[in-house]
Amino acid sequence: MRLKDKVAVITGGAGGIGLETAKLFLDEGAAGILLVDLDEETLKDAAKQLESDNVSYFSADVSDNRDVKEYTQKAVETFGRIDVLFLNAGIEGEVMPLTDYSEEMYDKVLAVNVKGVWLGLKHAFPHMKENGGSVIITSSVAGLQGTPNVMAYVTSKHAVAGSMKVAALEGAEHGIRVNSIHPSPVDNRMMRSLEEGFAPGAAEEAKKDFEQMIPLKRYAENRDIANLVLFLASDESSFITGSQYSIDGGMTA
């Protein structure tokens, strides 16, 4: 019971990584979990899958200040505190050369992936200062290296690492630890979108190409990522903050 009596907020909570992490948190004794995502119906389905009275949900745009403030208040009002904040919401944007990328899509990707992280930290920190806690931010291997034709996504995931480092330094005196995780391709919806973007009409071939770039020759599973998040959320990682964790099958070795 590595999360016994702890309360967690998970953004992107209805997606593959978010939902799998919620399942694992419940198995490890979490006293409360608030799932946050954009679409309310998808959230309802996710909460139903978890089949627990310790789960609540809130529909929010993580790039909207009012929405983030409201989901934070919802967590505190429902469960009394926030011990773990998993800032996992993110979008991939489009696959195209930087010269063709639209300003509108670029701004949208940075708003969700970067501003959404800052707002999550901004509103959760005041509630976490009394008891401390752990913040985990989902970046990507794209936050450690470059990939052609996904300028907005790569930029946003590098920015997330900088946000994490600042928050780790500011949170340290309050016992708030902040770390980022950097997955390689994960076998879920986002990669289906990117595969099609990189190879329209030949997504399966794109997947094979991506797998060949990973020394372990496979995509990560959602549970692989959730296991790392659990470790960083638990007291087992109590002396770890300001760190970037690659979970990439050796892709960045």
Q: Quick: pLDDT tens for 9-42.
A: 999 999 999 999 999 999 999 999 999 999 999 9
Report how far residue 34's alpha carbon sits from residue 50's, in angstroms, rounded to the nearest whole number: 12
Sequence spans of domains, the chain: 7-186+222-247
Instruction: Kindly list the catalytic residues.
Output: 153
CA distances from 92 to 70, 104, 195 (A): 25, 14, 11
Predicted confidence (pLDDT) per residue in 38-68, tens digit? 999 999 999 999 999 999 999 999 999 999 9
Chain position carrying tokens 């919401």: 89
Architecture (CATH level 2) of domain 7-186+222-247: 3-Layer(aba) Sandwich (3.40)
